[in-house]
Each structure stands twice: as structure tokens, then as C-alpha cells.
Amino acid sequence: MTSTTINGRPLVLPDDPDALLIDVIREGGLTGTKLVCGSGVCGACTVLLDGAPVVSCLLPAQAAAGKSLTTIEGVGAAGLHPVQKAFMAHDALQCGFCTPGFVVEATAFHDSWRATKGTATPSREEIAAALSGHLCRCGAYEGIFRAVAEACSGRFDGIEPIAPRLEARDKVTGLARYTVDIHQDGQLEGVILRAHVAHARITGLDLAPARAIAGVAAVVPLLDDDNMVRFVGAPIAAVAARDRRTAL
Ligand code: FES
Ligand code: FES
């Protein structure tokens, strides 16, 4: 049995070597960490592992064994971090779905910047490089760049921000709840198996082993009659199961 600490509290990790860190975090009720691309591209799932930002959608949960994990809920738990205040004051968010990942990465950048450069203001290029692993589909980049620059310069040290957006505090602390964060009794999670190649004919699709897994409620093929896939990401089959880990 292996364990980690998450936001200072002990957490036993599953023995399953395929269990992903993000699923363990979210299944434990810390839903501030968001799953978006699931492929290491968008940064929404970023957490700190021994203080270093990592994308939890690609990391096996076992990689956290013996280490210290910090999620957005643990950032500024003792009081808002200057980066969180700056995001609120500059309205550096819209829907807020990307915000936890940006904030976690930006706090690591801020803390290391302040330790070495004091209250100098980082350039736009330096901030862009630090946040290059993150995507904001709402396009809140102007506010994000301003917020990180001013947090690093010390402008938000020790002050309470005035936020133009009512729900800003919930969104920068990971407390905002979205539909994907709500779990009802008996609810199923769906996962779609997609093509990894751009053009191929599927010569065999055996769904029986997936249907036999405990917790799987339904598996359906999604191929057309010609069994062809014509683009990367073309749907092949869909699975509904008691949780995402089982569906995967
Ligand atoms: S969800 Fe992990 S990088 Fe996009
Ligand atoms: S605020 Fe909506 S994706 Fe960034």
C-alpha cells in the first residue's frame, strides 16, 4: 500500500498501476482540478507535485507515492495567494474552467520569481513562456498576463482585491462547481474510444471483454457499416460505467 499527502492530508493511493492521478484526486472530492483534453495539451489538470507543476491527466497516481501533492484547493488555503487576488482583480477569467490550472502554474512561477528576482516585473514573454502549457478557450489572456505580472511585482501583497466578477473567488480557489463536478447516485460516466490513426479499416472489434468488467453498464459500437475510420479521433465505441476509471 502506498500513499501521498494531498493538501497536507494523507491519501492512500490505488494499487492499480493504470489509475491516473486526476481521477484519484477528483474521485476524492477535490473537483477544482479539471479534466479537459486528457492528453497533456491544455494544462487544466495541473497540480503541484513536491512544488513542481505537473499535468495530472497523464501521470499514474503511483507517481505521487511518498510525495506531497497540492491542488488548487490547497493553494492559498491559509489566505488567498497574490496570484489568486490578481486574477480576481483583473478579471482574468470568464467561464473559469481553465482557471485552476493557470492559477496553480502561475503561483509556482510567482514563488520562484519572487525568490530570485524580488519584486521586478516579469516581461510578457517570460510570463507567456511560463504559461505556455495552458489554453484558455474564453481568451482571457490579457487579464491573465496582467494579473501574473502585477502579482510578481508585489502589487497584491497583503491587500484584499475588489473583483468585478461575483463568482471570481470560487473560480480562483477551485470551489466553483460545474456539471461535471456533480455526482448523483447511480450516475454513469461515459468514455468514447477514438481512432489513433487517420485512415484505417477496423477488421475486428470485440466488445465482450469490456462488457464483462464489473461496473460497466453498456458498451456500444459507433462505427459505420464500412468499419472505416477517416480521421484521428473518429469514434469507434462508447462505454458507460460507474466511474471514469472503470469506463477507461
Ligand atoms: S486535461 Fe490534462 S493537460 Fe488537458
Ligand atoms: S476562462 Fe473559460 S477557458 Fe479560460
In a domain, 184, yes or no: no
Give the pLDDT of residue 245: 86
Give the pLDDT of residue 77: 85
> Looking at 152, 179, 206, which one is the last position of a domain?
179
In a domain, 8, yes or no: yes
Q: How far apart are CA 159 and CA 80, in angstroms?
A: 10
Q: Which of 1, 22, 20 is nearest to 10 (CA)?
A: 1
Give the pLDDT of residue 219: 98
Ligand 1 atom having least distance to the Cα of 38? 1
pLDDT tens, residue by residue, 2-59: 999 999 999 999 999 989 999 999 999 999 999 999 999 999 999 999 999 999 999 9
Is 71 in the same domain as 124? Answer: no
Give the pLDDT of residue 163: 87
Q: How far apart are CA 158 and CA 149, in angstroms?
A: 16
Q: Which of 54, 51, 66, 56 is nearest to 13 (CA)?
A: 66
H helix intervals, the chain: 21-27, 82-89, 99-117, 124-130, 141-152, 168-173, 208-211, 244-247
Is 26 in the same domain as 52? Answer: yes
Is 68 in the same domain as 86? Answer: no
| Mutational pocket test of ligand 1: of 24, 25, 34, 39, the residue with most ligand atoms within 8 Å of the beta carbon | 39
The conformation of residue 17, written as its DSSP 8-state character, comes to T
Residues lower than pLDDT 50 in the chain:
none
Q: How far apart are CA 219 and CA 156, in angstroms?
A: 51
In a domain, 26, yes or no: yes
Give the pLDDT of residue 89: 97
Q: Give the chain's domain count.
A: 3
CB of 71 within 8 A of CB of 32?
Answer: yes
Q: What CATH number should be reported for the domain holding residue 214?
A: 3.90.1170.50
Taking the centre of ligand 1 as the mean of its atom positions, its distance from the CA of residue 41, in whole angstroms, is: 6
| Mutational pocket test of ligand 2: of 37, 87, 104, 137, the residue with most ligand atoms within 8 Å of the beta carbon | 137
> Looking at 10, 43, 75, which one is the last position of a domain?
75
Does the C-beta of 42 come closer than 6 Å to ligand 1?
Answer: yes
Give the pLDDT of residue 217: 98
Query: What CA–CA distances, in Å, run from 77 to 73, 107, 153?
Result: 7, 13, 22
Is 42 in the same domain as 128? Answer: no
pLDDT tens, residue by residue, 178-187: 999 998 999 9
- Domain, as residue range, for 87: 82-179
The amino acid at residue 211 is R
Is 71 in the same domain as 95? Answer: no
Q: Which of 67, 244, 63, 96 is nearest to 172 (CA)?
A: 96
Looking at the DSSP assignment, which residues form a beta bridge with residue 26? none
